[in-house]
Amino acid sequence: MTDLKLYFSRNLNPRVAVAAAKYLNAPVDYIPASPRHPAHTEAFRPINPNCLVPVLVEDGVSLWEADAIAFRLAQLTRPDFWPGHPDAAHVTMWVSWSALHLNRPGSSFYFHRLVRPQFSDQEPSAEFMDSEMRQFREGAGILNEYLSGRDWLVGKAPTYADFRAACLFPFAKGAGLPVSDYPEVSRWHDQLMEIEAWRDPFMGLAEHPDQIKPLEGASS
């Protein structure tokens, strides 16, 4: 049987990977990691030279980036979640679109409102944040219009398109993202929140790594 280890932290992109793995009931071992911690970086580098999570290690071979991990886990468990979906091109379209037009500007608010204050008090310029908000609102408006009359982005069940497009919304309140201004988006995300794997992907998982040991045989 394939040996699967998913290294994660409780941040934005690892949350998507863990949620996908939980939703797919993928047979992975969940390993909390802090690869940028000075005590862990060198041990983690053979797993991912970027020293970032999430990383899926399959039989000693590393695969990083949340989208690639979700793609691979779907291949192994439920292909209709993405690569085997009859309309996989549209799933991929929404994954690509949301990365550029929704998650990129929205992640500025996630970073500056929730992450940066933990280590820096240097605020971004108001002009920058105003520009990011305009771009986020434009993307949210497009998503809101498209979801009118639809339960999910592609087909009649959740796919990875929904997970990826919604990745910021569990953090919206703390990040100051105006999701409530978009009723169709709010309705759609409320449906996602009914899925336990999306609502609380870290349930039952260890919170902090004690140590990261070098992974023998890991490669890219």
Instruction: Please write the tens of the pLDDT for every residue from 150-201.
Output: 999 999 999 999 999 999 999 999 999 999 999 999 999 999 999 999 999 9
Domain boundaries, the chain: 4-81, 88-199
Tell me which of 1.20.1050.10, 3.40.50.10860, 2.60.40.10, 3.40.50.720 is the CATH number of domain 88-199.
1.20.1050.10
- Tell me the sheet residues that pair with 4: 58
Angle at alpha carbon of residue 189, lines to 130 and 201, rounded to 5°: 105
Predicted local distance difference test score (pLDDT) of residue 214 = 45
Tell me the C-alpha distance between 4 and 73, whole Å.
10
- Residues with Cβ within 8 Å of residue 37, at least 6 apart in sequence: none
Neighbours of 155 (CB within 10 A): 16
Torsion, Cα 22 155 77 94, to 10 degrees, reads -70
- Positions in the chain whose pLDDT score sits under 50: 214-220
CATH architecture of the region 4-81: 3-Layer(aba) Sandwich (3.40)
Alpha helices in 35-123 (DSSP H): 41-44, 66-76, 88-98, 104-110
